[in-house]
Amino acid sequence: MDMQTKRGKEQMKALPFKEKLRNFFFYYKWHVIICVFAVAVILFSLAECSKRVEDDLVISYFSESYIDESTVSKMHDFFSYEYCIDDINADGERNLLISSYSGIDENVTTKYMAEIAAGESMAFLFDQTYYDLTMQNQPESVDFACDITKNVELKQLFGLGDEPLYFAVKSVYDAEQGDEMREKMHDNAVSLYNIIAGDDMTVVYYGTKDIDEALITAFKDTFGEYIENINEAEQKIVGISAVCDPDVEALAEQAGETIKSGAASAFLIDGAFYKTFESKYPYVIEDSEDISSVFGLPDGSLYYVVSVTPSGAGVPENAEPLHGNALRVLSGLRNKKR
């Protein structure tokens, strides 16, 4: 170290603190500003990430014509209901995002192509123009699609006109296979599709013990072999809900509510509850069968009941065709037992 440098350091040490600070900023002002800015950016980014909402389903809405935001709001509220989608990220909330894009200009079509190819969306809403564009050029990108306007109740609820509006479930691409969150989001999209398209058969299971999901899937697959597609969707849909309670009287009360609604065309009833159901609601049973052996269960442990076709106010418009499918399933199950 030369004498000049040594003398400079000694002079610096001798300076008052404020003078040292002023001298430091004179030489390193921009270094400090850049460092402070970088730290601020990092902290802001971390804060934003911590506040970011993780969506349980992302839907992109593409239409050549104007999209009414009040319709989008009504859809968001309905699609977010507990029975429509699941909380797939276990954050205690059901978060749904619907992004809308209207027009057919370059900006919108570029966004459309990006979402189809590798976007966050696992479901789409398409007007006729974008639906045709998708089916003509990338049909493999869609698993299922149905026209919402064919569901009279939802058409009225959303304030839709007579022009078709398609709800489409995006395929899980090869690159997404094994991605648990993408697959769960796809499941949410399929659940919504099933609600929008409407059931081809509506069944309620009543049991004194919890039922295995694998058995529910087996019911759906087997019943699907026999029913007709009454809703003109691209997939036959068997809707099965399960009500389980060890208290037989509580089960009977819940069954009574379902019977009043006329919502079920058939019932699946475990052996422990069947006698109670039969004695309390004999007028509901048009026909029944022990179908335990069909599903590898002990005899007398599972009964299939076809409900009498309901009548009166509040009965679903498609009660008759739903009842027809319930009878077809019963016939198929009986043949399967032989």
The predicted model gives 1-12 an average pLDDT of 52
Tens digits of residue pLDDT in 292-308 = 999 999 999 999 999 99
Instruction: Return the SS3 of 240.
Output: strand
Tens digits of residue pLDDT in 102-154 = 999 999 999 999 999 888 899 999 999 999 999 999 999 999 898 999 887 78
Q: 57-197 with 201-337: one CATH topology?
A: yes
- pTM (predicted TM-score): 0.62
Dist. CA 284–CA 303, nearest whole Å? 14
Assigned fold of 201-337: D-Maltodextrin-Binding Protein; domain 2 (3.40.190)
Dist. CA 114–CA 199, nearest whole Å? 32
Mean residue pLDDT of the chain comes to 84
- Residue-range domain boundaries for the chain: 11-38, 57-197, 201-337
Assigned fold of 57-197: D-Maltodextrin-Binding Protein; domain 2 (3.40.190)
In angstroms, how far apart are the furthest CA atoms of the chain? 111
86 versus 49: the higher-pLDDT residue is 86
Dist. CA 12–CA 7, nearest whole Å? 9
**DSSP H helices in the chain:** 3-14, 17-51, 69-79, 106-118, 128-137, 152-158, 180-197, 213-224, 248-261, 271-280, 319-337
pLDDT at 5 over 80: no
